[in-house]
């Protein structure tokens, strides 16, 4: 069976960075790892006209930071395929067209560790309930300072999604932050560990060093459970050595 890890957290919290760093460490140690992004499991909104699509970002009950916009059935199907050890592909989501695009992510067969990252990776409300949580061996919730998270979100939307600054700021205020408080933050209760990398500096190198150290430690823990599960269980138990 594949060792499944769910990594959740607010937008811009660093969850995709943590997932990538964990994968890099595990790869160096010979552990085959695949990352599935929850972003590729948003619903297809291509049937909406241009005005309706543009309004998605600001709709209080149907926006990209609301669980209603996620196809959890698709995500669960991907996880079951991953768990079965088979090779499969799935389409990446095209945020410019609000639908699944023509670029595909390839997942190799017999993966040892599967990582699912996304704001709702640990979600347990309607309609999914325990469907996701019960599939994971481990759940991580990533937290950083609101200032860092918002700056990371702004940078991503400007450079990767072609948004304008005014649009991004309005989206943060009207949907991203309210949705985080209402839906995303409560999923921290489903995590087995909270990764808090709040740092009081604007030094990018300092932030990278802290994230790298945290990810390495978490990767080592996963490695021990995948390759030496008996030793990992012994290390986690409370016991005293007799003299």
pLDDT at 150 over 80: no
Q: How far apart are CA 28 and CA 176, in angstroms?
A: 36
Residue 36's Cβ-count burial label (10 Å; 0-12, 13-18, 19+) is buried
Per-residue pLDDT band for 242 (boundaries 50, 70, 90) equals very low
Tens digit of pLDDT for each residue in 198-219? 766 666 777 788 888 999 999 9
Per-chain mean pLDDT for the chain:
87
- Supply the Cα-derived Rg of the chain in whole angstroms: 19
Structure tokens at 156: 């991503």
CATH architecture of the domain covering 3-225: 3-Layer(aba) Sandwich (3.40)
Looking up tokens 């695949």, which residue turns up? Answer: 34
pLDDT at 77 over 70: yes
Q: Which residues are CB-contacts of 152 (< 8 A; sequence separation ≥ 6)?
A: 12, 13, 14
Q: How far apart are CA 135 and CA 144, in angstroms?
A: 26
Tens digit of pLDDT for each residue in 109-132? 999 999 999 999 999 998 899 999
**Pair 132, 75: CB distance under 8 Å:** yes
Per-residue pLDDT band for 241 (boundaries 50, 70, 90) equals very low
pTM higher than the cut 0.85: yes
Strand partners, 99: 94
């Amino acid at each position: 069976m594949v060792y499944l890890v769910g990594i959740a957290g607010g937008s811009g919290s660093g969850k995709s960075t943590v997932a990538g760093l964990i994968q890099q460490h595990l790869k160096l140690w010979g552990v085959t790892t695949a990352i599935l992004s929850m972003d590729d499991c948003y619903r297809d909104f291509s049937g909406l006209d241009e005005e309706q699509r543009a309004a998605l970002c600001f709709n209080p009950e149907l926006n990209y930071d609301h669980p209603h916009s996620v196809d959890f059935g698709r995500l669960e199907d991907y996880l079951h395929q991953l768990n079965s050890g088979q090779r499969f592909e799935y389409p990446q989501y095209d945020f410019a067209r609000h639908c699944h695009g023509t670029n595909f992510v390839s997942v190799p067969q017999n993966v040892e560790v599967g990582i699912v990252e996304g704001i709702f990776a640990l979600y347990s409300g309607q309609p999914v309930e325990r469907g996701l949580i019960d599939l994971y061996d481990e759940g991580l919730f990533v937290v950083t300072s609101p200032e860092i998270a918002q700056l990371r979100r702004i940078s991503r939307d400007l450079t990767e999604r072609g948004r304008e600054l005014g649009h991004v700021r309005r989206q943060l205020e009207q949907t991203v932050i309210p949705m985080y408080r209402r839906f995303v933050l409560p999923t921290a209760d489903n995590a087995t560990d909270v990764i808090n990398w709040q740092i009081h500096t604007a030094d990018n190198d300092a932030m990278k060093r802290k994230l790298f150290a945290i990810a390495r430690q978490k990767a080592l823990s996963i490695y021990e459970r995948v390759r030496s599960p008996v030793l990992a269980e012994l290390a986690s138990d409370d016991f005293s050595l007799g003299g």
